[in-house]
Structure 1
Amino acid sequence: MAWKSRTRSLQVFDTELSADTVEWCPVPQWHHILACGTYQLQKSQDGAVEESVTPSRIGRLYLFRFQQQGALCPPLNELQRIDTPAILDVKWCHVPVSGRPLLGMATATGELQFHSMQDKLDGRCSLDKVSSTELGPERLALSLDWSTGRGESSAIRVVSSDSKGCVNVLGLTETTWTALSQWKAHDFEAWIAAFSYWDTQIIYSGGDDCKLKGWDLRIGPSCPTFSSKSHSMGVCSIHSNPHREHILATGSYDEHVLLWDGRNMRRPLSESAVGGGVWRLKWHPTHEHLLLAACMHNDFHILHCQEAIEGSDGPCPILASYVLHNSLAYGADWSQVCLDSPPPASPQESGEPSQAQPAQVGGHLRIQYESPTASFDTSLEDEMGRYIPEPPSPQPDPCSVVATPTPALDSPSISCLLASCSFYDHMLHVWRWDWCPKEGATKVAGVQDQATGDSAAAAASP
């Protein structure tokens, strides 16, 4: 086959309300289940945002099943939709709870909701709300993470961050959630909080004060274990690598992805410019070096982090980019569904232009704060409430493009199923990424040289 890295759209779904979070179920037997959350600030009939002490924010939770049914059948089927308060984040517990998948949801009312998967008489499945807890008055729950990232089911806990700058930790006892701790972690919004999956007494948080902080629950939250300002703008994404101990990825409005070794938080292992504010980061569920980034103004990218993790300096190269969304790139996740169908034809075989492009690293419309809050909802609209499209980003200088890593010639191909969603165009995309060695190359170095040429050709294609 003549191509090395390729993305291909499988299906597009209109969520009607602005889509900002997606998550595939990580529990075996339910890998084909996808949840998507939406967020919408209510507006008056003339298009203006409703003015009140507490703006009205509505949302909807979608549940889908993915099923490969042949080329002519859409693979994604809607199972359920639930009207809710506006949703800022959804995360599945990595292990079953009472034998069923459990979905956590952070809402604009400051509430964490928990929904359990149930089987219906017609053979379908659906979510039933089983519990909820309030983080506090007059705040938005902005993120949540489970302590179960490595598949450990003992002492299940959830950490959440909120718009008051607080971090909240809850513990699950049978079916009851107990508040274990809450503390003021950041001066402004605490955009993100996440567990270290290797030591779940350690929590990381990031806020609009541009700080990344660490906390040890064993010594209490009176003082962070570290406080870093390596990011120059608000920190809004954190994900612990479930495969490599101590490895942490963080993203920020400053348009950079940083990789860290948790044993030395004085400076990051690597810094990668991705050309857009990094709202979400997701490590691949089985491949330890692959990192998915939702980059707000600059689409979705898959980064190869092996050399950075192993101590080499320099940014993480981008293996592939998914550029078919027309609005702010927010939610993204990998699926563990096995794609047993053959990969799509190569661009040379099909006559289609390649969709795998290097990151666009400049020229986008910069906005001071781009988050799912009231300020975000009005920042890209005119007086009539209409979306103002961004100007196209210029292509980067080909000399500045980082060479794409190539798998060894005897390595297996990788075929991945992904989902992503974007805000103002309220779209959910399901797509696949295929990565394989090139045939006919005699040396890995030669393949890398050819990959650089492919990237330049892709950048020049319409």
Structure 2
Amino acid sequence: MGWQSRTRTLQVFDTELTADTVEWCPIPQWAHVLACGTYQQLLEGDDKQRTEGSAAPSRIGRLYLFDCNPQSSFIPPLTESQRIDTAAILDLKWCHVPISERPLLGMATASGEIQLYKLIEAQQGSSGLECELSTDLGPDRLALSLDWSTGRGESSDVRVVSSDSTGSLTLLSLGEADLTAVCQWKAHEYEAWISAFSYWDTQTVYSGGDDSKLKGWDLRMGCSSPTFTSKRHTMGVCSIHSNPHREHILATGSYDENVLLWDGRNMKQPLSETAVGGGVWRLKWHPSQEHLLLAACMHNDFQILYCQKALEGQETPCPVLGSYILHNSLAYGADWSRLPVSSSAPPSPQEPPQTSSGLVESTGHLRIQYESPTASFDTSLEDDSGRYIPDQCPSPEKSSVSDLFTSDARDSVSCLIATCSFYDHMMHVWRWDWSPEEKHESL
């Protein structure tokens, strides 16, 4: 038995401003709702963005809301239902459970605010958002990320953690009528790119910063010092996601172009290290398949990793099962949809299938000058002797089909995925099909 991996583009949407975050609503009743956030740095001479006689913000954004119907064969699945001009958006995350019987979308902005939007029923059955709550993290800072404590569907004591450009983390508590800062502390020397809860122990928070450090925090013990500090990544840590299906499992990504998987009980050494050929801005575990991990790899597109062997404790890189390569700019935002899709997908002539004998392997690099989405720094990926830094990391090993797949991983998977890229201001919706390919002997 062989395996076939196929990607197929369903729709491309021009966001006009640079796009950096997309999020499907995780609540089943509203799984058809998709949000996309944009970030635009205004430069001198952008007069058309400024109103005469007033000082315009230096960073602007727009929040898009879409309704999706993936079952339409000949009609693009997305319908835009709303757009809201805002401060520049760095991150979007839906609360995993309804709040007051409605979905709630959290937004981290360049104005240093965490804003919460409630999903409402708009005219003609479409969806809409209205701002419910907002809190300011403090002066002279950009809110860079946020995460909800509800990743396993638990609705008690709902909290938000956020990271910002001063290197600080803020823990926020959601009440009936307010979003209150419980504590705020300095976590990193430079930008704290990412913050995340452990979904299995929501008193544990993880953070990653531009100081190349990954840290853990126990909220019960105060936040004066971390429970651990890892320097295993060699460049800024910009993505963290707790596995909602497997206790203790954590995925992290960095500008060093590596995805690391960890067991939270032993943060001295990762379970696995996988070189993906691009800085890892976002990581998302699949909503139902514990072994599938989606990675937005900046200069190397979007990759789907198969993590079963690493989750079983085998120290091996995670093979890449599928890649989506049709964006023309930095791969930033990515998320799995929970919408069911039909089990069959007609082939797309523009996107040939990838079979198990041709698992994706990164080969060769151009020398890259990385930029952060906030344009606050540049990083040249070479050391003092001119060597390309990520080339020192091991590449995923090629494996036979029998070695890669365990007996419990032989069912077909069909998924809907949304991704967005920065400078070309594009959002794509595409499907990924992963299925066994039977080989029949001729009679």
- Give the TM-score normalised by the residue count of structure 2: 0.89
Per the TM alignment, residue 360 of structure 1 is displaced from its structure 2 partner at its CA by 2.7
Per the TM alignment, residue 354 of structure 1 is displaced from its structure 2 partner at its CA by 3.4
Aligned-partner SS, 1:324: coil
- CA 1:285/1:400 → structure 2, altered by over 3 Å: closer, same or farther? closer
Residue 9 of structure 2 corresponds to 9
Question: How far apart in 1 are the matches of 2:173 and 2:433?
Answer: 39
Task: Decide whether the 8 Å contact of 1:206 with 1:212 is kept in 2.
Answer: yes
Residue 339 of structure 1 corresponds to 341
Task: Decide whether the 8 Å contact of 2:20 with 2:38 is kept in 1.
Answer: yes
Question: How far apart in 2 are the matches of 1:206 and 1:398?
Answer: 23
Residue 35 of structure 2 corresponds to 35
Aligned-partner SS, 2:157: coil
In structure 2, give the amino acid aligned to 1:429.
H
Spell out, residue by residue over 1:377-397, the C-alpha distance to the aligned partner (whole angstroms, 9 max, x if none): x999xxxxxxxxxxxxxxxx9
Residue 213 of structure 1 corresponds to 215
Residue 389 of structure 2 corresponds to none
Residue 20 of structure 1 corresponds to 20
In structure 1, give the amino acid aligned to 2:34.
L
1:111-130 equivalence runs, <5 A: 111-130=113-132
- CA 1:230/1:398 → structure 2, altered by over 3 Å: closer, same or farther? closer
Per the TM alignment, residue 43 of structure 1 is displaced from its structure 2 partner at its CA by 2.1
Per the TM alignment, residue 340 of structure 1 is displaced from its structure 2 partner at its CA by 2.2
1:37-436 equivalence runs, <5 A: 37-45=37-45, 56-68=58-70, 70-340=72-342, 342-345=344-347, 353-354=352-353, 358-367=360-369, 369-375=370-376, 401-403=398-400, 405-406=404-405, 408=407, 411-436=410-435
RMSD: 2.7
In structure 1, give the amino acid aligned to 2:45.
Q
Spell out, residue by residue over 1:312-352, the C-alpha distance to the aligned partner (whole angstroms, 9 max, x if none): 0110000000000000000000000000262223x7xx696
Per the TM alignment, residue 428 of structure 1 is displaced from its structure 2 partner at its CA by 0.2
Per the TM alignment, residue 173 of structure 1 is displaced from its structure 2 partner at its CA by 1.2
Spell out, residue by residue over 1:253-283, the C-alpha distance to the aligned partner (whole angstroms, 9 max, x if none): 0000000000000110000000000000000
Question: How far apart in 1 are the matches of 2:325 and 2:343?
Answer: 23
Residue 391 of structure 2 corresponds to none
- CA 1:400/1:306 → structure 2, altered by over 3 Å: closer, same or farther? closer
Aligned-partner SS, 1:218: helix
In structure 2, give the amino acid aligned to 1:437.
P
Question: How far apart in 1 are the matches of 2:324 and 2:57?
Answer: 34
In structure 1, give the amino acid aligned to 2:376.
S
Structure 1, unaligned runs of 5 or more: 381-396, 443-462
Task: Decide whether the 8 Å contact of 2:274 with 2:395 is kept in 1.
Answer: no
Question: How far apart in 2 are the matches of 1:198 and 1:135?
Answer: 26
Task: Decide whether the 8 Å contact of 1:407 with 1:436 is kept in 2.
Answer: no
Per the TM alignment, residue 408 of structure 1 is displaced from its structure 2 partner at its CA by 4.6
Spell out, residue by residue over 1:126-178, the C-alpha distance to the aligned partner (whole angstroms, 9 max, x if none): 00001100001000000000000000000000000000000000001113111
Per the TM alignment, residue 363 of structure 1 is displaced from its structure 2 partner at its CA by 1.1
In structure 2, give the amino acid aligned to 1:438.
E
Per the TM alignment, residue 438 of structure 1 is displaced from its structure 2 partner at its CA by 1.5
Spell out, residue by residue over 1:75-132, the C-alpha distance to the aligned partner (whole angstroms, 9 max, x if none): 1110100000000000000000000000000000100110000112422210000110
Question: How far apart in 2 are the matches of 1:398 and 1:173?
Answer: 47
Task: Decide whether the 8 Å contact of 2:7 with 2:351 is kept in 1.
Answer: no
Per the TM alignment, residue 208 of structure 1 is displaced from its structure 2 partner at its CA by 0.5
- Give the TM-score normalised by the residue count of structure 1: 0.85
Aligned-partner SS, 1:436: strand
Residue 448 of structure 1 corresponds to none
Task: Decide whether the 8 Å contact of 1:323 with 1:355 is kept in 2.
Answer: no
Report sequence identity in percent.
Answer: 66
Question: How far apart in 2 are the matches of 1:366 and 1:214?
Answer: 30
Question: How far apart in 2 are the matches of 1:72 and 1:90?
Answer: 30
As a proportion of its length, which structure holds more strand?
2
Residue 457 of structure 1 corresponds to none
Task: Decide whether the 8 Å contact of 2:317 with 2:395 is kept in 1.
Answer: no
- CA 1:254/1:441 → structure 2, altered by over 3 Å: closer, same or farther? farther
- CA 1:177/1:330 → structure 2, altered by over 3 Å: closer, same or farther? same
Question: How far apart in 2 are the matches of 1:261 and 1:18?
Answer: 35
